[in-house]
């Protein structure tokens, strides 16, 4: 007789504070948008948490799907209220993307799909920026205007790119993020839409392996068991950590907060467990915000 029953997911523990967890790990792979800030200002308590963790000997590597190189992130974070002493280093999807396209594996000329502010993603590389019709590949860093557009607005463009059989390199795998009280679309939404019409999309940020390989290099000789990934993205932070065999802490107060509890600051274990199960995700625990 065949057993058609499904295993009941183990309830995810909810933590009010990070301190009980901190001593188990020597380093954090910490997401930025949704964990440190909401695109407008830093969350209450995050600076204290990171600085206390570092004071206790822990290392903090900020791991972001930002399409721009990490070198520009500290200045931006400073403006949002996160000082440089709160973390050790920054690694972005933009860093991983630059390393990939610089090799020429997609060709020598590209068309940039994204806002002008993302030019640091490709500036200084031995590649030619050209028009859409002459490019070897497309470098997508985001939407041209993420305040007003969605991926649906790009359907005619993606059809043209597919007709030319171009590779699309996505420098930001995130689908959506919250900017203050507004939800905006990212490069991952364009790449997903391109895949849906049969195009080839390539990703170098979370949850894909290249950025984790670079992260391990930044952290030196630490074992995966000594590292904790902290993030709010189920299909980026949590999935990436799970795929790499790294423990994950789910921050519910970010992009998934509406599904995790009656309020942002009150995640419920049952709801959180269900949300994680939908993507086959696992986490050592969950917190509304990363508070010491």
Q: What are the boundaries of each domain within the chain?
A: 19-94+207-287, 105-203
Nearest to 29 by CA among 227, 195, 244: 227
Average pLDDT estimate for 234-260? 96
H/E stretch holding 20 reads helix 19-22
Report the distance separating Cα 37 and Cα 46, nearest Å: 9
Does 1 or 25 have the greater pLDDT score?
A: 25
Q: Is the pLDDT of residue 191 over 90?
A: yes
d(CA 185, CA 287): 25
Minimum mean pLDDT range among 4-8, 179-183, 256-260: 4-8
- Angle between helix axes 93-101 and 209-219 (nearest 10 degrees) is 110
d(CA 8, CA 193): 33
Can 19-94+207-287 and 105-203 be said to share one CATH topology? Answer: yes
- For 179-205, what is the mean pLDDT? 92
Structural tokens at position 281: 């995700």
The pLDDT assigned to 176 comes to 83
Tens digits of residue pLDDT in 108-141: 999 999 999 999 999 999 999 999 999 999 999 9
- The values of phi and psi at residue 51, to 5°, are -70, -35
d(CA 159, CA 290): 42
Q: Are the C-beta atoms of 12 and 46 separated by less than 8 Å?
A: no
Give the integer Cα–Cα distance in Å for 102 and 284. Answer: 37
What's domain 19-94+207-287's superfamily in CATH?
Answer: HAD superfamily/HAD-like (3.40.50.1000)
Q: What is the pLDDT of residue 2?
A: 47
Q: Please give the model's pTM, rounded to 2 decimal places.
A: 0.86
Pairing mode, strands 176-179 and 182-185: antiparallel
Confidence of residue 7 (pLDDT cuts 50, 70, 90): low
Q: Are 32 and 62 in contact (CB under 8 A)?
A: yes
Sole residue written with tokens 């391990």: 216
Rounded mean pLDDT, 253-261: 94
CATH topology of domain 105-203: Rossmann fold (3.40.50)
């Amino acid at each position: 007789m065949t057993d058609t029953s499904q295993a009941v997911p183990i309830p995810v523990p909810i933590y009010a504070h990070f301190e009980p967890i901190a001593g188990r790990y020597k380093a954090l792979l910490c997401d930025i948008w949704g964990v440190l800030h909401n695109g407008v200002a830093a969350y209450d308590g995050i600076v204290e948490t990171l600085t206390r963790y570092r004071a206790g000997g822990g290392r903090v590597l900020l791991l972001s799907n930002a399409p721009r190189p990490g070198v520009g992130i500290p200045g931006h974070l400073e403006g949002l209220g996160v000082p440089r002493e709160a973390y050790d280093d920054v690694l972005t999807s933009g860093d991983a993307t630059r390393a990939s396209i610089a090799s020429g594996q997609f060709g020598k000329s590209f068309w940039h799909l994204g806002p002008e502010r993302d030019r640091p993603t490709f500036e200084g590389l031995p590649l030619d920026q050209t028009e859409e019709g002459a490019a070897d590949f497309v470098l997508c860093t985001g939407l041209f205007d993420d305040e007003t557009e969605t991926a649906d607005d790009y359907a005619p463009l993606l059809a043209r790119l597919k007709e030319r059989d171009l590779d699309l390199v996505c420098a930001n795998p995130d689908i959506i993020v919250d900017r203050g009280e507004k939800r905006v679309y990212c490069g991952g939404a364009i790449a997903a839409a391109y895949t849906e019409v049969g195009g080839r999309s390539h990703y170098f940020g979370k949850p894909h392996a290249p950025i984790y390989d670079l992260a391990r290099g930044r952290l030196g000789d630490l074992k995966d068991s000594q590292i904790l990934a902290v993030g709010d993205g189920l299909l980026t932070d949590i999935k990436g950590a799970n795929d790499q065999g790294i423990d994950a802490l789910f921050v519910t107060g970010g992009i998934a907060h509406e599904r995790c509890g009656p309020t942002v600051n009150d995640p419920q274990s049952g709801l959180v467990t269900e949300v994680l199960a939908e993507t086959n995700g696992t986490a050592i625990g969950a917190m509304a915000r990363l508070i010491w």
